[in-house]
Structure 1
């Protein structure tokens, strides 16, 4: 009957809907081709005010918590009042259950009223105390949220080396860093040998009064290193770039072959002026370094010398001793916020071979800040572990490398020269270094000479879109002292939008020397992606896996078993349970530790909701840039895990960690797609 209707008549109300696009058409539009049986229209419903408040506005990944901004004085007053409340039991009293165990007695700032604390303490969580499971006495005592599972007759056992986390910051080291009295003999000697500016002298008023501009602040604020500060007369390689000091975005010289120093020289020599240190700076160890052998095999200058001339070409390099094989190993990328120790432990259980800690700022480490030192913690299961540091200047990075080498157990040290975050870039670190290739050279040379550990570098293709720079340094960075380079196939301006440029990564790999490991990074989301990138270019040692591991950490299992794992919601919940258990062991089983674990769990769930189960797709594997349509899972839990609403993420956390506290709010920290903002160029 529809065939005989006039062409001008509107279609009847019950006419069939428009033909659904084919899976190929959906893929071409970067829309996930979910099977029609699981598709559903977006729900239209009024979100209750209570749910909005619990979910931070209920706007999903874009939720923003707004509220009245409190002054620092008001926040400090609230913290002091909280300490005096019965909910804040003294740590020593909580551990022992004895009021007399606190050495401060009645002058203690915290509550000693055990009965009042137990009366207001939230109910215990389901499950068993993670420390009791390990056969240990729980160090949180009465404050543990699994108090009912504690065994009274459990003897105190020291944690075995197999379970104890490594790389804690000792109080003695922290005090030395606070007082600026930690000694850096190797870094200081290498900085002087290379003729680089020493920003540490300003900290103790030992700068040259005749030329105060010869030094820069340790934190690198508002000061840039000029080419005139580098006194090494070296003939650059054919791909060496000219340093661009202007960070305001003027045109970049990509393939300049001009010499760093206009004066011709047959040999690369450096002249170091040695003057007696009359100041009190204990970091400047020239007067104490007589007989100290430098990290490149050269003898340090003694105090009775006025100058020394060193031939850098004939000096042996420790790079010959730095060997680590990255080939075809599954490398979990350092991930800000979500790449914490419990998440890395989880990825190790799922097949990751190499793990790396979250990026730590060099200045914060040198100042002894506990928050950044916590990023260097290592679990014994991480058998091939590195730390990632980020800094703008050679002296800062070299001292940090020496500090990490002395105080931490690591297998390699990675320098981040690709971070796109504004606060890092504005300090002259991260991806802004791509506009200053000579500073990259100075940083790598200074840092690699103070440690026997392999030194690796992570970069992006460029700072500005369309002005690729990575290929101009990849051929030289091995000679400067790096053992491996990781290339993220996006520019800083691109952030995380669009697809990674793997053709350019291959181009860079072809220019790399044979002994340099080149690691590709970007959009690895299945075992077929990993196979393709490793096989398409023989000089690619391996692929670094970042967001793919956040969305589905079982990706490591898929690569090792060469299969697409149609994981069930129950199996995914078990993985979340493992993360929670690792989190409680790491952050603690008291109320504070439980809520810290919940916070990082919610941050991670803001990524895992992007996963689409294999059984629901018309085309496999899922691509990282696909936008999922509104769909329902094969069961209620799978549907909840696919939700982009923070309220559903909170419900999942309550299944594992109990009810959230009153007034709880959450908003994800990361907003990755910031492509055309003015500050990105």
Structure 2
């Protein structure tokens, strides 16, 4: 979630036409290349934060068409209209109309019944004529796109493919599919799924949280939580009048908008807000759910006040099920003196480990697997909103998925109130296999901040204390915190509370060296990060974050402040995930275009395993690949630079690569990103268009050139 960390490419022109008779001031004269172009000296370019590409590789920037500009302007107006593939406007449809169209599409021939696809037998579907999917086997085969090249990644990884004929690699299946007893399960190396029984309890608002309630009582937050929450809602809650997640912070929060919609069920959905989830006295009735509609973002946010369950609200038929779920947890009446002190917990040593930041949308499970292959030590899931987790939203729980290769893995949550956080961490510890839980207190986007979560907590240190304290008292897993330097620019405040954060119960704190108000207007303030690290107690590990783009940056930060445990890497990993290899091997890797393409191949392979090898899984993988390509083009090969190493704030000029593929990878046009995706996933569907979720004019329009 970032506010367009990339600069305006149209303003980054570093070459000019040679004009006869013109004079260049200064001692150093600019050199000229065979194309009749002149370039400033490397020192001059670096002073202007422009990448000093060798003059022989420079080329004039591509022309921008007026239709591109017009389409970009149209795409900004999300409230009134949406852009079709042809650039025309259409009226926004009602929810009922959209639901009707979805049902009609399900019945179309391209949506074959999964049971029929697996077995090839129409009679295998247990729902028969009542099935919501199509049973027209012949029509499905007639319209099915041509199979993709290569082996089925799901079949190769699991020994069988549950998609059957619907798989885009079905011709490579080496044996007949089983007669269909998958029971809805796949053999997979991924864990942390939400069980249906627990999900139903969450849906019905009948899940109990005894550990969380005990911690709230121990800290004196049980009785007053509802009053505090109502007062804060009046002051801070307000209406959600924000941009979607595309204006947020990627360094531990969100790099790009998390709104890929219902087409991406297994990963990040639209930007979400943390609702209000209260703790009530056992004699108070739970309030009713309230629904708010965010017009600007098109989000339907269900705010649930009261996931707690009172005796009068629990049906007798549900009591036993709840007891089965929580039979192994501590009852609220348990003596708090028996609980572990924070210092007695099993802690994690982050020192000198390579830490990949949680990156919304682009930091999905396949991307994390790529980074694991390239050397990262610590991974963390995408930021998940507490209220959505407590409501049992499958798309939000998908953000907590973990692959077996992630040997040191945490999840990041975001919430506004101690009771919401306490219940969420208890639920996560009960349902998931994790190593630590990170609480985001640095997310800068309005849609989160207006609800009192994210960086809004930096203005309320007592609530920060209560959140960390109740979370640490509820679970035995280590609790870490992610913050920015401050809410307002020039009013840093983390240094004033960092000495106490260890006593609150935090194992580590990650400090992003920017304020919420600053966003990406300046480089990260590492001097302030060092100051905070030196003030932190020995029991609290401090992780620095911001602008690390090479092993030189890493070494410098570690050398400047020995108290710094490690550094978190965010945008640097998005642009060049092999940064972890560079740090471990202490070298600048002049990676070739072929090696970079193989990394993209790995991502596609992992993506098809994760999202599926049917048409829907292929298109989901394509979307996330394109989101990632909207960052990787910013990498400038080491062999093309006059000054090494590349800085994260350098604006890359337009240049030729050393081969055609490297030139294609350097393009800032979405049309070229689609070409790369087609090399891996085949032709795009008719009417396909792509616009990155973060807003930036460093790419072509939704019309893709």
TM (norm. structure 1) is: 0.79
> What is residue 564 of structure 2 aligned with on the other side?
540
The answer (yes or no) to whether the contact 1:319–1:482 under 8 Å persists in 2 is no
- How far 1:214 sits from its partner (Å)? 5.9
Q: Secondary structure at the match of 2:392?
A: coil
- How far 1:62 sits from its partner (Å)? 14
Q: 2:573 aligns with which of 519, 532, 549?
A: 549
How does 1:185-264 map onto structure 2 within 5 Å?
185-197=210-222, 213=227, 216=230, 221-222=233-234
Superimposed CA distance per residue, residues 579-624 of structure 1 (whole angstroms, 9 cap, x where no aligned partner) = 0000000000011000000000000000001000000000011000
- How far 1:494 sits from its partner (Å)? 1.4
TM (norm. structure 2) is: 0.77
Q: Secondary structure at the match of 1:151?
A: coil
Question: Are 1:138 and 2:157 counterparts?
Answer: no
Alpha-carbon distance in 1 for matches of 2:47, 2:573: 24
How does 1:156-555 map onto structure 2 within 5 Å?
163-197=188-222, 213=227, 216=230, 221-222=233-234, 277=283, 283=308, 301=333, 317-555=341-579
Alpha-carbon distance in 1 for matches of 2:159, 2:373: 22
- How far 1:101 sits from its partner (Å)? 1.3
Alpha-carbon distance in 1 for matches of 2:108, 2:187: 38
The structure that has the greater radius of gyration is 1
**Quick one: structure 1 residues 530 and 324, their matched pair in 2 at CA, closer, same or farther if it must change by over 3 Å?**
same
> What is residue 660 of structure 1 aligned with on the other side?
684
Question: Are 1:110 and 2:129 counterparts?
Answer: no
Alpha-carbon distance in 2 for matches of 1:78, 1:445: 48
**Quick one: structure 1 residues 167 and 523, their matched pair in 2 at CA, closer, same or farther if it must change by over 3 Å?**
same
The answer (yes or no) to whether the contact 1:583–1:597 under 8 Å persists in 2 is yes
Alpha-carbon distance in 1 for matches of 2:106, 2:610: 23
**Quick one: structure 1 residues 74 and 154, their matched pair in 2 at CA, closer, same or farther if it must change by over 3 Å?**
closer
**Quick one: structure 1 residues 285 and 327, their matched pair in 2 at CA, closer, same or farther if it must change by over 3 Å?**
farther
Unaligned stretches of 5+ in structure 1? 1-9, 202-212, 226-273, 289-296, 303-307, 674-681
Q: 1:71 aligns with which of 93, 97, 102?
A: 93
Q: 2:106 aligns with which of 83, 87, 94?
A: 83
Q: How many residues align?
A: 585
Deviates more, 1:344-353 or 1:73-82: 73-82
Alpha-carbon distance in 1 for matches of 2:38, 2:679: 41
- How far 1:464 sits from its partner (Å)? 0.8
Q: Secondary structure at the match of 1:449?
A: helix
Alpha-carbon distance in 1 for matches of 2:167, 2:404: 24
The answer (yes or no) to whether the contact 1:496–1:672 under 8 Å persists in 2 is no
Q: Secondary structure at the match of 1:583?
A: helix
Deviates more, 1:92-101 or 1:353-362: 92-101
The answer (yes or no) to whether the contact 2:307–2:390 under 8 Å persists in 1 is no
Alpha-carbon distance in 1 for matches of 2:37, 2:162: 63
**Quick one: structure 1 residues 167 and 598, their matched pair in 2 at CA, closer, same or farther if it must change by over 3 Å?**
same
Question: Are 1:99 and 2:122 counterparts?
Answer: yes
The answer (yes or no) to whether the contact 1:162–1:380 under 8 Å persists in 2 is no
**Quick one: structure 1 residues 442 and 523, their matched pair in 2 at CA, closer, same or farther if it must change by over 3 Å?**
same
The answer (yes or no) to whether the contact 2:212–2:422 under 8 Å persists in 1 is yes
The answer (yes or no) to whether the contact 1:319–1:448 under 8 Å persists in 2 is no
- How far 1:94 sits from its partner (Å)? 1.2
Q: Secondary structure at the match of 1:457?
A: strand
The answer (yes or no) to whether the contact 1:61–1:644 under 8 Å persists in 2 is no
Deviates more, 1:145-154 or 1:503-512: 145-154
The answer (yes or no) to whether the contact 1:188–1:284 under 8 Å persists in 2 is no
Unaligned stretches of 5+ in structure 2? 1-18, 25-31, 238-279, 287-305, 313-318, 320-328, 698-705
> What is residue 242 of structure 2 aligned with on the other side?
none
> What is residue 26 of structure 1 aligned with on the other side?
45
Superimposed CA distance per residue, residues 58-90 of structure 1 (whole angstroms, 9 cap, x where no aligned partner) = 999999956324312332222121111111111
**Quick one: structure 1 residues 641 and 298, their matched pair in 2 at CA, closer, same or farther if it must change by over 3 Å?**
closer
**Quick one: structure 1 residues 111 and 42, their matched pair in 2 at CA, closer, same or farther if it must change by over 3 Å?**
same
Superposition RMSD on alpha carbons, in Å?
A: 3.5
- How far 1:27 sits from its partner (Å)? 0.5
Alpha-carbon distance in 1 for matches of 2:22, 2:47: 31
> What is residue 145 of structure 2 aligned with on the other side?
122
**Quick one: structure 1 residues 222 and 168, their matched pair in 2 at CA, closer, same or farther if it must change by over 3 Å?**
farther
Alpha-carbon distance in 2 for matches of 1:488, 1:420: 11
> What is residue 204 of structure 1 aligned with on the other side?
none
- How far 1:320 sits from its partner (Å)? 2.2
- How far 1:284 sits from its partner (Å)? 5.5
> What is residue 258 of structure 1 aligned with on the other side?
none
- How far 1:635 sits from its partner (Å)? 0.9
Superimposed CA distance per residue, residues 122-163 of structure 1 (whole angstroms, 9 cap, x where no aligned partner) = 111111100222251101111100111111257799999995
The answer (yes or no) to whether the contact 1:197–1:215 under 8 Å persists in 2 is no
How does 1:598-609 map onto structure 2 within 5 Å?
598-609=622-633
The answer (yes or no) to whether the contact 2:512–2:524 under 8 Å persists in 1 is yes
- How far 1:480 sits from its partner (Å)? 0.4
The answer (yes or no) to whether the contact 1:61–1:668 under 8 Å persists in 2 is no
The answer (yes or no) to whether the contact 2:236–2:450 under 8 Å persists in 1 is no
- How far 1:277 sits from its partner (Å)? 4.2
> What is residue 653 of structure 2 aligned with on the other side?
629
The answer (yes or no) to whether the contact 2:214–2:331 under 8 Å persists in 1 is no
Alpha-carbon distance in 1 for matches of 2:360, 2:172: 34
